[in-house]
Amino acid sequence: MARAASKKQAAKKPTGDDASAQRDFALHSLQDRLEEKRQFAASDDQLLEFYEQMLLIRRFEERAGQLYGLGLIGGFCHLYIGQEAVAIGLQSALDNDKDSVITGYRDHGHMLAYGIDPKVIMAELTGRQAGISKGKGGSMHMFSTEHKFYGGHGIVGAQVALGGGLALAHQYRDDGGICLAYFGDGAANQGQVYETFNMASLWKLPIVFVIENNQYAMGTAVSRSSAETDFYRRGTAFRIPGMDVNGMDVLEVRNAAEIAFEHVRGGNGPVLMELNTYRYRGHSMSDPAKYRTREEVQDKRDNQDPIEAAKKALLERGKTEDDLKAIDKAIRARVSEAADFAESSPEPEPAELYTDVLVEEY
């Protein structure tokens, strides 16, 4: 009986080219490239642009928190404060004419990283007709098909499977695009994530899976909720190379993006990136975040803040404090203008309840 089982197993072993491919496969190859060169060689203008974009997200989210406290934003509101380097580092490396992005419900920062007008994002947050989803999506369900941004999804982990579909569409159309699918450390334990990993690897889909590991999911530390806390290794069983990236360093994120995107565009199948980051606020505006100390949060702010790190680098390159104060002042004014626009915009007409239910009319 044992001998028969042994023969059966031997018959299943790959031979020829398949065996050679398995021997040559190295999960660590992309990480090795990142270790050789951690940071993107940004020009002064590029670094300044990264700084401005991250600062816009920070100031926008701070104002969104204020509007939520005033009752002008209803439902849930998940802020991106602290995680700005992830969206800016990754999305600055995308081809906006071809590539697609999909994410969970912490989506304001990703939209701003695309360069979408803060006015229409703030109007959406406040449920106004002028919002990017006509005020019907709110904080968690923003879309812009014009920018190939496909949400904004409230069901934990659901966007990963949908991202697999977007990648399949890129492959089917042979348009040269890739899909960037964001999810968090909490969503990383969802079963549909691994079904998508398997299919994406099997079909060599052009997708980059991005785990934004902000350490606490909805409120439980990763060490208490996940048996494998090195999330970049989660794709190993599916032969998906992983990358372990400092998500608080915009230049490291951008460099890792260059490596990962090149691999995927080369027809080599998916990559899994773990971006180790940290959110300063609770999971949502209704979360008091009592599962961690104020000292822990302050330590992250003082020693790992991505915006302060970019600011320090700019000062070392010759920018002055006055230069950077002027940028901050201009961004604050832009955010205030967006808030005023949102507050003065009308709510959707009741008839809008019956529109955008189907893609076409039947």
Q: What angle do CA 329, 147, 188 make, to 5 degrees?
A: 90
CA distance to 51, 80, 185, 245, 254, per residue, from 104 (Å): 24, 12, 12, 20, 21
The confidence score (pLDDT) of residue 28 equals 72
Please classify residue 157 by burial: count the beta carbons closer than 10 Å to its beta carbon, then call 0-12 exposed, 13-18 middle and 19+ buried: buried
CA distance to 78, 96, 149, 214, 290, per residue, from 287 (Å): 10, 34, 27, 15, 8
| 273/256 Cα distance (integer angstroms) | 8
For the chain (362 residues), the mean pLDDT of every run of 10, in chain order, is 45 52 66 94 97 98 96 93 97 96 95 94 96 92 92 93 98 98 95 97 98 94 92 95 97 98 97 97 90 94 97 97 98 98 95 84 56
The confidence score (pLDDT) of residue 90 equals 98
Amino acid at 226: S
In the numeric block, which tokens belong to residue 148?
A: 């190939």
Please classify residue 206 by burial: count the beta carbons closer than 10 Å to its beta carbon, then call 0-12 exposed, 13-18 middle and 19+ buried: buried
CA distance to 53, 71, 240, 253, 331, per residue, from 92 (Å): 10, 34, 23, 10, 19
The confidence score (pLDDT) of residue 156 equals 93
The confidence score (pLDDT) of residue 359 equals 76
| 266/85 Cα distance (integer angstroms) | 26
The confidence score (pLDDT) of residue 358 equals 84
Please classify residue 213 by burial: count the beta carbons closer than 10 Å to its beta carbon, then call 0-12 exposed, 13-18 middle and 19+ buried: buried
In the numeric block, which tokens belong to residue 125?
A: 């947050």
**Phi, psi values for residue 323, rounded to 5°:** -60, -45
